[in-house]
A and B are shown apart, each in its own frame.
Chain A
Amino acid sequence: MTGAGQNGASQNRASQTWLIRGIRRAGGPPADLILSGGRIADAGPGLSAPPGAQVLDAAGLIALPGLVDLHTHLREPGREDAETVETGTRAAALGGYTAVHAMANTDPVADTAGVVEQIWRLGREAGVCDVRPVGAVTVGLGGAQLAELGAMADSAARVRVFSDDGRCVSDAALMRRALEYVKAFDGVVAQHAQEPRLTDGAQMNEGEVSGLLGLSGWPAVAEEAIIARDCLLAAHVGSALHVCHVSTAGSVEILRWAKAKGWRVTAEVTPHHLLLTDELAASYDPVFKVNPPLRTRADVEALRAALADGTIDCVATDHAPHPAEDKETEWQAAAFGMTGLETSLRVVHAAMVETGLLDWAGVADRMSVRPAAIGQLNGSAAASGSDGPGGTAPLHGCPLEPGAPANLVLYDPAARSIVDPAQQASRSRNTPFAGLDLPGQVVATFLRGTPTVLDGKLTR
C-alpha cells in the first residue's frame, strides 16, 4: 500500500511530506492530499508530488479525521499488568485514534494535578497518540468530597473532562455542585449512570436471560433514573453533562427529551453496546461481562437509531483491559470490562455503515468531530491549551481541509477479517469480538503528519 520507502529516523518524520493519492475523504470522491509540516497542506484532484515527498497510493481507501476516544482505561499507574499508557496508545493508534481520554480510576486515582500530569507526560513520551487525562470528580472516586477540579484544569494536562467512571456520582447534591463548579473552566462532568441501590451485586442485564441464568440483575431503570436526574440538574444549573456508555432504549428517550429542551447534554455509546446482546451471557464466559451490561436486541436497535439521528453524540470505546486471571474465573468473580480500541471502527462499520444507518461522513462526525468537541480538542473553546509539540494546539476532530492538523486515519472498507486477540497491541486479550468476522481494516494513522501506523502496522 505504501509506495515510498522510509526516510530514516523517526524524529525526521515530523518534517516529512506525504502525498496521499486517490483517497476518499469521509467517503467523498477520490482526491489527493498533501501533508506537510504537521498539517494538511493541500487537497484536491491531480496534485503533483512536492520535492522529497513520500507517495502513498490510497485508491479505494477512506480518510477520516483521526478518531477521538472520550472513554479509555489505560490502567497506568497501578495496573500495568493490564495495560500501560504505552501499550494502550499503541492499541489506540492501530484502531485509528489520534487522541484518547484516559479515565481516572487508576491507582492512585487521577484526582490531583500531580497524577493527571504524570499520565499526560507518559502519553507524550509514548508519542503515538495524544493522551488527555480525565480527572476524578471526587477524591479517590469516593463519592464524598470534590477533588481539586480547578487544579487539574489549570495543570499542564489542562483537564476539561471529569468523571468518577466505574462509580456513579450518586449523591444528587454532590453531582449538582460538580456540574456547577466546572463551569468556571468550561469543564464537563461525564457521568457513569448507575443507581447503586438498584444494582447491589448486579452481574448482567436484568431481564429474561438473567432470570434463567440465576445472575443478579442490573435493571435498565438504574441507568435511566440517574440520567433523568442528571439532565434535570444540568438544566437547573446551566451546566454541561456528558453521559457515559448509554446502554438502554429508555435512556435514549430521556436524552432525546433533554436535547429537545435545548439543555447541554451529550452522550456516548460503546461499540459493544451497538453490536452485542445479553444472550451472550448464557456462555457464562466473563469476556462478555461489562458495566453497564450488554442489553437486549431492542436496546441495540434503539442505540443504533439514536447514534444515527444524533441523540447519542458519539462512539466511545470504554476500552477496559484486564489480565487473563481476572477473566478466567466464575462469572461472578470476574472483572467488568472489555477491550475496544483496536476494533471500534470496524464494529461501527458493521453496526452502522453496513446497515445503512450512517455514511462515512457520519462516522467521521460521531467518532472524531463530536467527541473532540465534547473534550474541547477542536479549538472551539476559548481556553484551548497549547500543549502540542512546538507550541501548536492539540487540535483534533477537524475536517480534512487545507490548514487543518494532519490527524487522520486511512481505512480500507473493502477488507474483512476475523478478530484475533493474539494479534492485538493491547496488553490484555479480553475482546468480546474474538473470532468474529468484521469488515474493514485500519491501513494508516497519521498524528500531526507523522505516520503512527502504516500498512496496518505500528511504525515503531
Chain B
Amino acid sequence: MKRHLISAADLSRDDALLILDTAEELAQVADRPIRKLPTLRGRTVVNLFYEDSTRTRISFEAAAKRLSADVINFSAKGSSVAKGESLKDTALTLEAMGSDAVVIRHPASGAPHRLAGWVRGSVVNAGDGTHEHPTQALLDAFTMRRRLGRIDGLRVTIVGDVLHSRVARSNVLLLHTLGAEVTLVAPPTLLPVAVSAWPCEVSYDLSGTLPKSDVVMMLRVQAERMSAAYFPTVREYSRRYGLDAERMALLPDHAIVMHPGPMNRGVEIAAEVADSPRSTIVEQVANGVSVRMAVLYLLLSGAGPALDEIGTGSPAATEAEIAEVAR
C-alpha cells in the first residue's frame, strides 16, 4: 500500500481487499466488552478539519482511539484561505509536533495532495472539495459486501449530484477496481462533461435503471445547486431523481439502498425509504469506524495482516495488554 490514502485510485485490488478484510476483523472488536486495542499506542493522529463534518471527524476519532492512538483535533475552519495561517504553515506546525498521520477534511480539491508534500507522516483524505472521499467509498464497499456477500459483478447505481460529489468519484474508482458495474444517474447538468471517459455507465432515467440494480446509492442534493440553475426546482428534481417508496418497489428484492448522509428527507430520499429494511444508512455509520481503523492500522503499522497481531493474542496485543490500556 502507498504511504498516503488520498484517492481511491491509490488502491490496487489487493490493497482494497486487504483493507476490507482487516476492517472485518476489527469489526469484531466492537463486539468485545473492551473495545480497545493497543496497536497504535504512542502514535499520534491529527484530525485536521477545515470544514464542519462532525460525523466524519467523530468516526476517525473513534477509530484512532480504539487503536490507542493519541488524537489531536485541529479545527481550522475559516483559517484556510484568505486569512490566518496557510495550509503549509499548519503542516509544518503539525510536523513539529510529531504527528504520525494527518486526517484532513478540506473544501479545496487537492489539499491532501499538497499536504502530503509538506509532512513526513501519512495523509488520509477525509474529503477534499469536489474531488474524493476514499474512506467513504471503502465503508460503502464494506457495507455492500456484508449485505450482499460480494462486490465483484454487483450492479451499483449512484444517483444525484455526481459533478460536485467526492463520494461519487471515490465510489466509481473503487467499485471499478473491485469489479462492480457502476451506473450513474443524474440530470445532465450534474454530470461532468467528460463523464463518458469514466469506467461506468450513465443514464438519465432512474426508474429504468432500478430494476437492474443490486445497490442504489442516493447522493445528497445541495439546495444552492438550484439557485445556480442546475435544475428548475427541488420538486422537479425530487420527481425525476428522488427515491420514494413507489420507485423503490422497482428494485429487485435483494437490493439495498445506501446514502452517505446527511440526508435531505423528502428531496433525494423519502422517509419511508430511508427507514425501510433495505436501507443501510445506519450500518454505514457503524462500518465507517471499522474501515477507518483498518486504514489507520495499515498505514501506520505496516502492511502485515492484522489478525496475527490483534485478533488472536499475538505478543503485540495480548489480552493483558488490552486490559492494561483499558485501565
Task: Please list the residues of chain A having a beta carbon within 8 angstroms of any beta carbon in chain B.
Answer: 203, 206-208, 210-217, 219, 283-285, 325, 328-333
**Distance of A203 Cα from B194 Cα, bound (Å):** 16
Known interface pairs A214-B132, A214-B169, A325-B86. Does A330 touch B110 (Cβ–Cβ under 8 Å)?
yes
How many B residues face the partner with a CB closer than 8 A?
26
Whole-angstrom distance from the CB of B202 to the nearest CB of chain A?
12
Residues 105-126 of B contacting A (Cβ, < 8 Å): 106-111, 113-114
**Cβ of B302 < 8 Å from any Cβ of A?**
no
> 27 A–B contact pairs at CB < 8 A?
A203-B109, A207-B193, A207-B194, A208-B197, A210-B192, A210-B194, A211-B198, A213-B110, A214-B109, A214-B128, A214-B131, A214-B132, A215-B129, A217-B193, A283-B113, A328-B86, A329-B81, A329-B88, A329-B114, A330-B81, A330-B108, A330-B110, A330-B111, A332-B81, A332-B107, A333-B80, A333-B108
Q: A213 contacts B109, CB within 8 Å?
A: yes
Known interface pairs A210-B192, A213-B131, A214-B166. Does A330 touch B106 (Cβ–Cβ under 8 Å)?
yes
**Distance of A207 Cα from B195 Cα, bound (Å):** 9
Whole-angstrom distance from the CB of A210 to the nearest CB of chain B?
7
> Chain B residue with minimal CB distance to A331?
B110
**Distance of A285 Cα from B80 Cα, bound (Å):** 17
Q: A332 contacts B108, CB within 8 Å?
A: yes
Residues 269-284 of B contacting A (Cβ, < 8 Å): none
> Chain A residue with minimal CB distance to B87?
A330
Q: Which of B113, B195, B198 has the most CB of A within 10 A?
A: B113
Q: B195 contacts A333, CB within 8 Å?
A: no
Chain B residues whose CB sits within 8 angstroms of the CB of A203 once the complex forms? 109
Known interface pairs A206-B193, A214-B109, A217-B193. Does A332 touch B129 (Cβ–Cβ under 8 Å)?
yes
**Cβ of B130 < 8 Å from any Cβ of A?**
yes
Q: A284 contacts B114, CB within 8 Å?
A: yes
Task: Please list the residues of chain B having a beta carbon within 8 angstroms of any beta carbon in chain A.
Answer: 80-81, 86-88, 106-111, 113-114, 128-132, 166, 169, 192-195, 197-198
Chain B residues whose CB sits within 8 angstroms of the CB of A329 once the complex forms? 81, 86-88, 114
> Chain A residue with minimal CB distance to B196?
A208
Whole-angstrom distance from the CB of A338 to the nearest CB of chain B?
18
Chain B residues whose CB sits within 8 angstroms of the CB of A212 once the complex forms? 169
**Distance of A332 Cα from B82 Cα, bound (Å):** 11
Known: A214-B110, A214-B166, A331-B109. 16 other contacts (CB 8 A): A206-B193, A207-B193, A211-B193, A211-B197, A211-B198, A213-B109, A214-B109, A214-B130, A214-B132, A284-B110, A329-B88, A330-B81, A330-B108, A331-B110, A331-B114, A333-B81
Q: A328 contacts B194, CB within 8 Å?
A: no
Chain B residues whose CB sits within 8 angstroms of the CB of A285 once the complex forms? 114
Chain A residues whose CB sits within 8 angstroms of the CB of B128 once the complex forms? 214
**Distance of A333 Cα from B107 Cα, bound (Å):** 11
**Distance of A333 Cα from B130 Cα, bound (Å):** 15
> Chain A residue with minimal CB distance to B9?
A212
Q: Which of A206, A211, A332 has the most CB of B within 10 A?
A: A211
**Distance of A206 Cα from B110 Cα, bound (Å):** 16
Whole-angstrom distance from the CB of B6 to the nearest CB of chain A?
10
Known interface pairs A206-B193, A328-B88, A330-B87. Does A215 touch B80 (Cβ–Cβ under 8 Å)?
no
**Distance of A333 Cα from B128 Cα, bound (Å):** 14
Whole-angstrom distance from the CB of B38 to the nearest CB of chain A?
36
Q: B193 contacts A214, CB within 8 Å?
A: no
> Chain A residue with minimal CB distance to B163?
A211
Whole-angstrom distance from the CB of A266 to the nearest CB of chain B?
31
Q: A211 contacts B108, CB within 8 Å?
A: no
Q: Which of A206, A215, A332 has the most CB of B within 10 A?
A: A332
From A215, A219, A330, B193 is in contact (CB under 8 Å) with A219
From A207, A215, A217, B110 is in contact (CB under 8 Å) with A215
From A206, A214, A283, B129 is in contact (CB under 8 Å) with A214
Chain B residues whose CB sits within 8 angstroms of the CB of A211 once the complex forms? 192-195, 197-198
> Chain B residue with minimal CB distance to A211?
B192
Chain A residues whose CB sits within 8 angstroms of the CB of B114 once the complex forms? 284-285, 329-331
Whole-angstrom distance from the CB of B212 to the nearest CB of chain A?
25
Q: A215 contacts B194, CB within 8 Å?
A: no
Chain A residues whose CB sits within 8 angstroms of the CB of B108 once the complex forms? 330-333
Whole-angstrom distance from the CB of A252 to the nearest CB of chain B?
20
